[in-house]
A = this chain, B = another copy of it.
Amino acid sequence: MQQHPILVEATRGGVVESFHRGALAIAQADGALHTALGDIDRPVFPRSAVKVLQALPLVDSGAAEHFGLTDEELALACASHNGEPAHVRTAASMLAKAGLDPAALECGAHWPGHEGAARALAAAGQAPSALHNNCSGKHAGLVCLGCLMARQAGREPGGFVGGYLQPGHPVMREVTAALQAATGCDLSRAPMGTDGCSIPTYGIPLRQLARGFARVATGQGLSPGRAQAAARLRRAVAAAPFMVAGTGRFDTRVMERLGERVFCKVGAEGVFCAALPTLGLGVAIKMDDGNNARAAEVAMAAVIEALLPLDDAQASLLASLSRGVLRNWNGIEVGTLQATEGLRGAFGRR
């Protein structure tokens, strides 16, 4: 395994306590590299970071228009959400528009990722359903796509949709085709794993993930339908950034502040991808340890800070994310979590 550079450091008492190595690619839609750090050709499971690519068929097929999906609903289709009440209501609304109920979701149930939402649910004497799963919007989108495909095939929606998360199901084949077209990666030869929500996840090099997000940013290299779909999804998320994550979350906070200039999306195991439309660039990060999002978020904040012109409020937010302060249970400042000079000096290096 190639040694990757240290991108993020946690300090305490003025010394480095922990450090995070990782790899990073920034590319144009034609594949030209803007920046590369570490091994960007090793296959990486992008996990939830590519939900926007997986949602392209929902729009491109006409299903989103057919069912009258709103910005909030389209943003939720691209989300790893907190399971807060608004997320749950929105996922239920998507299913209702397709004439189905939460039993159609095959993602499994888990307690809301937002601790306050989880405790509120417990305090109300309730247990979580599949609607609370952070992927429920993606799955509701897959179900909507399946319902339209069933209609076009003259089939009963319920019977057609069942098993939609299997690699060979017509719905998942559409999703995989969109992912392959956007990244240019031959997924039939890629490592395949099972994601947290049970759909397939494919090993794709950061180089190709970055190119895929540059295509989301620009539409270049996508079919006209998928290019329009990408633009529609970016607008939806910019209009409803709460839906893509939720209270206190990086993606929501950054997109609330920067609007359409950033589309960013976290994935499990330290993956983070972004589209930067004004620059025509895509970004893909994978932290080696992948234990949770803390280091990938800091690295992505440093990327955005370095590449985009920012007003004072935007700069202040990004600085707090790329050079964060760690506080303990008494609120005392005990350390920092910050991008390294090695990362900050890397942009434009390839």
A interface with B by C-beta (< 8 Å): 1, 3, 6, 10, 12-21, 43-45, 106-111, 115, 118-123, 125, 133, 191-198, 201, 203, 269-270, 287-292, 294-295, 328-332, 334-335
Q: How many copies does the complex hold?
A: 2
Q: Please tell me if the beta carbons of B193 and A45 are within 8 angstroms of each other in the complex.
A: no
Q: How far is the CA of A295 from the CA of B290 in the complex (A)?
A: 11
Selected from B115, B191, B196, the residue in CB contact (under 8 A) with A328 is B196
**Complex contacts, A194 vs chain B, CB 8 Å:** 12-13, 328, 332, 334
**Complex contacts, A294 vs chain B, CB 8 Å:** 291
Q: Please tell me if the beta carbons of A329 and B15 are within 8 angstroms of each other in the complex.
A: no
Q: Please tell me if the beta carbons of A19 and B288 are within 8 angstroms of each other in the complex.
A: yes
Which partner residue on chain B sits nearest A14 by CB separation? B191
Q: Please tell me if the beta carbons of B19 and A1 are within 8 angstroms of each other in the complex.
A: yes
Which partner residue on chain B sits nearest A134 by CB separation? B329
Q: How far is the CA of A291 from the CA of B335 in the complex (A)?
A: 14
Selected from B6, B10, B21, B118, the residue in CB contact (under 8 A) with A115 is B118
Q: Please tell me if the beta carbons of A13 and B289 are within 8 angstroms of each other in the complex.
A: no
Q: How far is the CA of A109 from the CA of B270 in the complex (A)?
A: 29
Q: How far is the CA of A171 from the CA of B227 in the complex (A)?
A: 66
Min CB–CB distance A11 → chain B (angstroms)? 9
Min CB–CB distance A130 → chain B (angstroms)? 9
Q: Please tell me if the beta carbons of A292 and B290 are within 8 angstroms of each other in the complex.
A: no
Q: Please tell me if the beta carbons of A18 and B123 are within 8 angstroms of each other in the complex.
A: no
Contacts A115-B111, A133-B329; A289 near B17 (Cβ below 8 A): no
**Complex contacts, A329 vs chain B, CB 8 Å:** 107-110, 133, 196-198
Q: How far is the CA of A107 from the CA of B14 in the complex (A)?
A: 22
Q: How far is the CA of A95 from the CA of B251 in the complex (A)?
A: 44
Q: Please tell me if the beta carbons of A334 and B122 are within 8 angstroms of each other in the complex.
A: no
Q: How far is the CA of A149 from the CA of B194 in the complex (A)?
A: 58
**Complex contacts, A201 vs chain B, CB 8 Å:** 12-13
Min CB–CB distance A269 → chain B (angstroms)? 5
Taking A1-B19, A13-B201, A289-B295 as known contacts, 8 extra A-B pairs with beta carbons closer than 8 A to each other, sorted by chain A number, are: A12-B201, A13-B194, A119-B119, A194-B328, A195-B334, A197-B328, A289-B291, A291-B294
Contacts A18-B289, A123-B123; A193 near B108 (Cβ below 8 A): no
Q: Please tell me if the beta carbons of A15 and B191 are within 8 angstroms of each other in the complex.
A: yes
Q: Please tell me if the beta carbons of B191 and A108 are within 8 angstroms of each other in the complex.
A: no
Q: Please tell me if the beta carbons of A13 and B270 are within 8 angstroms of each other in the complex.
A: no
Contacts A123-B125, A125-B123; A21 near B288 (Cβ below 8 A): yes
Selected from B6, B12, B191, the residue in CB contact (under 8 A) with A193 is B12
The CB with the most chain B CB atoms within 10 A, among A18, A109, A115, is that of: A18
Q: How far is the CA of A37 from the CA of B125 in the complex (A)?
A: 49
Q: How far is the CA of A291 from the CA of B20 in the complex (A)?
A: 9
